[in-house]
Structure 1
Amino acid sequence: MSAILMHRRTNRQIHVLVFAGTGEGPALVAALAQAGRDVSVSVVTEAAARAYRSADLNTVHVGSFRSVEDLSAHCLAHAVDAVVDATHPFALLISAQLHQVCSHLSLPLVRFERPGWTAPQTSLLSGVDAFAQQSLHGHRVLLALGARHLAAATQAGRAAGAIVKARVLPTPAAIRLAGAAGLSGDNLAVLRPLSGMRPGAVEAALCRRWAITDVLCRQSGGVADALWSTLSESLGFHLWKVKRPSPPDTVPVVQSPQELLACLDGLLV
């Protein structure tokens, strides 16, 4: 660690920059602020930034960084002492950029991972393409993963012999991607996840209506992962999860605000 960084840390409040892309972001930020850290947040959209309006923050950055150089310049300009990667588990580009920048600037980097969920009838896949290697002739598969992955997942499911259906968000882009994947009419449901009076009731009704035998989703942790794990047990379908990527071995992983605080205390001594 450079002498400049060490001098800076001993003369002011430690500044932690949190890259937030999951629902747990506000709780992490609140825990850091309560522990006396100077906290900034980086999110991609204005909608995501609204969750931090009442938080005690140094700055809120909204939008993607155009390059690694821009990201480095931001960390230097704001005198960042440590970075927390709480982005979505499958946001591979920003996680790789954060690792590169923190390595170059000798900044501690901590990865926050949401705890995973398991169900008895669950199989992990290395990727969407691996779904094509399964024997699913006559199975009725529901794709419950991002619209950008629908084309590959639909192709894989049909290659495995399954009848493929999907649910997508009610946005023009998602519906357009579903159509490009060959999903429309009674093979497509347009809905917002976990909506309604009883979160999960719409998804359960959809599985019953389509007599779903298998669901393909991502091992993302959080409420969506929990939902499909719970429905798999209650409705009896087989759950296939695309395994979430692992961070580099040199990046410590925490799964709670308490673990994050303890980890940062150890890294910033």
Structure 2
Amino acid sequence: MRVLLLGGTGEARALAARLHPQVDLVSSLAGRVPRPALPAGAVRIGGFGGVDGLRRWLRDEQIGAVVDATHPFAQTITAHAAEACADLGLPYLVLARPAWDPGDAIVVTSDREAAKTVAVQGFSRVFLTTGRSGVGAFADSDAWFLIRAVTAPDPAVLPRRHQLVLSRGPYHYDGEYALLAEHRIDALVTKNSGGEMTRAKLDAAAALQIPVVMVSRPPLPAGVTTASTVEEAVAWVANASGCHRRR
């Protein structure tokens, strides 16, 4: 049975390492990040052309099951994968790392709501870590932003007052604490990505008593099967392969 692994995350790479070469696996990366860390096994890079294109690709490539280990905020590909797999009757699993406990954070549902919160609360020096796609919501803000992203946002959507830091995690507590203190940050804006790779900024913000504005995750498509760990996903793939062989 061929398995499609929708990847781009640390969990996806760990799962690919566990499955390859015992499983006929192909990992798919969106191609938005230059020089991505490649997983073990076969890799394809680029989009599918919407749900119709994905459905055709799954059928043409004789895929028997799909594991979606994309970022928790990659809402479009998850919706497309869920629909295509349902149409084709393919087993589909979402490997979703556990969300962070927001604690005392101000929880919002979108980047735009986060930008409004920054304005209403009067924050003036903001550490913005929502990724390049979320920067545009803050374009008209009067605050100063320290913006961290893997790749540079479109210059047209950058806030008037900002400093851009291009880097890729993992990040560690001492470095995050020093960064927040050095730039006199008075608010952290982040998405509830979960996981340990970028969690240190939350711990540093708590130590410095810096308020956090946290964008909550979009809901998963109704009825999808989920796993919270790589080990659970490995077991799911083994079970799906066993069912496939019995058929």
TM-score normalized with structure 2 length: 0.82
Task: Name 2:217's counterpart in structure 1.
Answer: 244
Aligned residues: 238
Letter of the aligned partner of 1:258 in structure 2?
A: E
Work out whether residues 216 and 241 of structure 1, in 8 Å CA contact, stay in contact via their aligned partners in 2. Answer: yes
Q: Is the counterpart of residue 149 in structure 1 residue 134 in structure 2?
A: yes
Aligned in 2, Cα 1:105/1:154: closer, same or farther, shift over 3 Å?
A: same
CA distance in 2, matches of 1:93, 1:51: 22
CA distance in 1, matches of 2:9, 2:2: 21
- Once the two structures are superposed, what CA deviation does each residue of 1:199-246 show, in whole Å capped at 9, x if it has no partner? 454543332133222111111123454122221222221111101112
2:66 to 75, 83, 87: 83
1:40 to 26, 30, 36: 26
Letter of the aligned partner of 2:20 in structure 1?
A: A
Task: Name 2:3's counterpart in structure 1.
Answer: 16
Work out whether residues 119 and 230 of structure 1, in 8 Å CA contact, stay in contact via their aligned partners in 2. Answer: no
Work out whether residues 3 and 64 of structure 2, in 8 Å CA contact, stay in contact via their aligned partners in 1. Answer: yes
The structure with the greater share of residues assigned to helix is: 1
Work out whether residues 122 and 239 of structure 1, in 8 Å CA contact, stay in contact via their aligned partners in 2. Answer: yes
Aligned in 2, Cα 1:67/1:151: closer, same or farther, shift over 3 Å?
A: closer
CA distance in 2, matches of 1:212, 1:192: 18
CA distance in 2, matches of 1:81, 1:175: 38
Task: Name 1:11's counterpart in structure 2.
Answer: none
Task: Name 1:122's counterpart in structure 2.
Answer: 105
Letter of the aligned partner of 2:3 in structure 1?
A: V
Letter of the aligned partner of 2:25 in structure 1?
A: V
CA distance in 2, matches of 1:138, 1:44: 34
Aligned in 2, Cα 1:142/1:72: closer, same or farther, shift over 3 Å?
A: same
Task: Name 1:67's counterpart in structure 2.
Answer: 50
Task: Name 1:174's counterpart in structure 2.
Answer: 153
1:263 CA drift (Å): 3.2
1:76 CA drift (Å): 1.5
Work out whether residues 166 and 183 of structure 1, in 8 Å CA contact, stay in contact via their aligned partners in 2. Answer: no
Aligned partner of residue 121 in structure 2, secondary structure:
coil
Task: Name 2:233's counterpart in structure 1.
Answer: 260
Work out whether residues 119 and 229 of structure 1, in 8 Å CA contact, stay in contact via their aligned partners in 2. Answer: no
CA distance in 2, matches of 1:75, 1:138: 47
Aligned in 2, Cα 1:252/1:60: closer, same or farther, shift over 3 Å?
A: same
2:178 to 185, 188, 205: 205
Aligned in 2, Cα 1:151/1:246: closer, same or farther, shift over 3 Å?
A: same
Task: Name 1:26's counterpart in structure 2.
Answer: 13
CA distance in 2, matches of 1:29, 1:250: 25
CA distance in 2, matches of 1:218, 1:170: 15
- Unaligned 5+ runs, structure 1: 1-13
1:111 to 60, 72, 94: 94
TM-score normalized with structure 1 length: 0.76
RMSD: 2.7
- Return the index of the structure with the highest Cα Rg: 1
- Unaligned 5+ runs, structure 2: none
